[in-house]
Amino acid sequence: MGDNAFNRIAIIGIGLLGSSIAHAVKSYGGADEVLLWDADTDVRARASRVVPGQVTETAKQAVSNADCVILCTPVGVLASVTALISPDLKAGVILTDVGSVKDKAASDMSANAPVHAHVIPGHPIAGTEKSGPEAGFASLFHDAWHILTPLEDHTEEYLAAVDTLEAFWKTLGAKVETMDAARHDRVLAITSHLPHLIAYNIVSTAYDMESIEDGEVVKYSAGGFRDFTRIAASDPTMWRDVFLTNKDAVLETLGRFSEDLAALQRAIRWGDGDTLMKEFTRARGIRKAIIDAGLDTDEADFGRRSNDSSEKS
């Protein structure tokens, strides 16, 4: 299989991530061959136009001779999808996923995979608000973190499998990090799950007021709201599953958020400008850390994007 990590990989679930992996392998390598399958007939038909000749009619055709199977489905169906393909997985296969919740992904895949498969849960911190096979593109994983949460398996074979999977993702441009699944779920609850829940919620609140305000919420959305609608455009099925499967960490983080918000609410009601000033000022520190770490640019998109902001004299 030359320099590639894998001879053949199979992708189950052809949405933004599944099709992006196929595009990325074509551009950067990592596998000699990629086959894809999706449970939805319509998605398979659309995917055939995006990656011609690579979409199979059955899951079995995709996974039978694969060295690595990547499940790109919502977290909620990982158990049933693993059970579906399990009889056709070859010995020594690597079984991984791209789901946003890793503790549940690990148990659902492990419980349904054959013992001769190496289950290595994974999560690319990459994506857009777009959905579907047409949304995929080769550079999605460039410079993005890819988190692997290996099981408690210290056999030589398993560790070698983790190394191979890590090499694969690096070929696609990702930076790979390994951590405990529970820790992953706690960190992502604040960096990703809560932000999405809040975005969905504020858009929902606005939706109910929209009928009162005659389209003005949309018209004046440049004042900050627009950025939330972008996040809230993400795939509903995926996010429903995230919140249902990372329940404890999300509820804990949400509890802290609500306490903090109640404190700000109280400061507004009582005209406590000092408290507002203190909280707003320290928020800038985290932004600076993100800029300093090179994780976002400070220069981008003047003109196109804008927040509402007049200025300090």
Sign of CA dihedral 59, 9, 25, 164: positive
Q: How far is the CB of 286 from its own copies (least distance, A)?
A: 5
Binder of its own copies out of 98, 162, 172, 174 (CB under 8 A): 98
Contact range with its own copies by CB under 8 A, out of 2-10, 75-83, 154-162, 163-171: 75-83
Name the residue with tokens 């109280």. Answer: 266
Smallest separation, CB 11 to its own copies (Å)? 10
Q: What residues numbered 13-52 form the site for its own copies, per CB under 8 A?
A: 13-18, 38-40, 43
Question: Which of residues 4 and 113 has its CB atom nearest to its own copies in the complex?
Answer: 113
CB of 151 to its own copies, least distance (A): 20
Contacts of its own copies in 154-183 (CB under 8 A): none
Please report whether residue 228 would count as binding its own copies according to CB under 8 A.
yes
How many residues are recorded in the chain? Answer: 313
Which 123-152 residues touch its own copies, going by CB under 8 A? 123-132, 137, 139-140, 142, 144-145, 147
Q: Which two tokens stand for residue 32?
A: 């000699």
Judged by CB under 8 A, the residue of 84, 176, 182, 198 near its own copies is 198
Positions 245 through 274 that interact with its own copies (CB under 8 A): 247, 250-251, 253-254, 256-258, 260-261, 264-265, 268-269, 271, 273
Among 54, 82, 100, 149, interactor with its own copies by CB under 8 A: 100
* 109 binds its own copies, rule: CB under 8 A: no
Site residue total, its own copies (CB under 8 A): 139
- The least distance separating its own copies from the CB of residue 160, rounded to whole angstroms, comes to 26
CA 63 distance to own-chain centroid: 23
Asked if 121 touches its own copies (CB under 8 A), the answer is no
Distance CA 108, CA 4 (A): 29
**Nearer of residues 159 and 251 to its own copies, judged by Cβ:** 251
Q: What angle do CA 31, 32, 33 make, to 5 degrees?
A: 95
